[in-house]
Structure 1
Amino acid sequence: MQKLTPFLISCLLVFGVAACDNASKTSESAPAPNEAPTAPSAQTTQAAQEDAQSEVRRRQLDADIRAREQRNNVTGGDTDRAASDLASQVRSKLEANIPKGQLTVNATDDGSVTVSGTVNNQQELAKIERLAKEIKGVKTVVVKATIAPPKQ
């Protein structure tokens, strides 16, 4: 027993030294700590914007919203919803149905939602309140958005 204890302690020390080795464990493509991030190219930005506005993305967002609603119905969480959850769901619904709008969503715990920002036309502006009220837990919607046609 007296020989076993020093052996176990030395094994732990050797293991600790190996585990605390200070070698870099990040990938080569990771940015260096002092390296400034570079802006994406115009093509990358355009591709990301097209993906965000695609029909597939809208269907994914709608499916996510339906799944959240189903979870809330099962867990009983549909009566008292957190403001951040309401804001997130309304934001997703608006992004899916008004893809070129630049909207911000704020919600309170009592179910009041305020939507601010800009949309491209009157039809999109008229959709905001209806879409927001489709989310369970939203009681009132205040629309402070304005119409601002896209810049060419």
Structure 2
Amino acid sequence: MQKLTPFLISFLLVFGAVACQNPSKTSESAPNNPNEAAQTPDVKATEAAQQDAQSLLRRRQLNEDIRAREERNKVAGDETNRATGDLASEVRSKLEANIPNSALTVKAAENGTVTVGGTVGNQQQLAKIEPLAKEIKGVKKVEVKATVAQPKQ
């Protein structure tokens, strides 16, 4: 046992030193230095993410997520009265999927009032905001403070 103890201690020291050599990153885009600021995504990555959010498949996924949340609330016995964060999130998802090239913000109040601000590309998109938001259970009133802004070229 006396010969084995120094061997085990040296093994632990070597293992600890090797394990501390190179910190692993959670993703390829993560900075090497944890004190380093995160890098902004390039234009192509941003456009790809926006197109993904507006694709038909993504729209279906968002709608299924909304239905699943509503089912969970129904099972819990509370179909329409939910946390304002959940309500705002569901409305934001619905608008993101159905109104392309928009920059909208969503705030929800406890009484079921949802306020939508930001910009959309045209008048038709602006008209879609209220009906889409009211499709979410728990939304009682929609205040549209969004405006039409021409896309930058």
**Superposition TM-score tier, normalisation by shorter sequence:** 0.7 to 0.9
Spell out the pairing of 1:132-147 with structure 2 (5 A cutoff).
Answer: 132-147=133-148
Partner of residue 42, structure 1: 43
> What is the CA–CA distance in structure 2 between the aligned matches of 1:71 and 1:123, rounded to whole Å?
33
Residues 69 and 39 of structure 1: CA distance in aligned 2, closer, same or farther (over 3 Å): same
Asked whether 1:151 is paired with 2:149, we answer no
Residues 121 and 65 of structure 1: CA distance in aligned 2, closer, same or farther (over 3 Å): same
Aligned residues: 137
Spell out the pairing of 1:1-150 with structure 2 (5 A cutoff).
Answer: 21=16, 23=20, 24-27=22-25, 29=28, 30-31=30-31, 32-150=33-151
> What is the CA–CA distance in structure 2 between the aligned matches of 1:48 and 1:79, rounded to whole Å?
31
C-alpha deviation, 1:25, in angstroms: 4.5
Show structure 1 runs of 5+ residues with no match: 1-13
Identity among equivalent pairs (%): 62
C-alpha deviation, 1:93, in angstroms: 0.8
C-alpha deviation, 1:89, in angstroms: 0.8
> What is the CA–CA distance in structure 2 between the aligned matches of 1:61 and 1:89, rounded to whole Å?
8
Letter in 2 for 1:55: L
Partner of residue 6, structure 2: none
> What is the CA–CA distance in structure 2 between the aligned matches of 1:50 and 1:117, rounded to whole Å?
19
> What is the CA–CA distance in structure 2 between the aligned matches of 1:83 and 1:37, rounded to whole Å?
30
Please, what TM-score do these two structures have when normalized by structure 2?
Answer: 0.78
C-alpha deviation, 1:42, in angstroms: 3.0
Letter in 2 for 1:142: E
> What is the CA–CA distance in structure 2 between the aligned matches of 1:144 and 1:44, rounded to whole Å?
29
Q: Is the 8 A contact 2:54 2:98 kept in 1?
A: no
Letter in 1 for 2:43: A
Show structure 2 runs of 5+ residues with no match: 1-8
Deviations 1:70-102 (A, max 9, x none): 111111122421111111111111111113111
> What is the CA–CA distance in structure 1 between the aligned matches of 2:43 and 2:103, rounded to whole Å?
19
Q: Is the 8 A contact 2:62 2:94 kept in 1?
A: yes
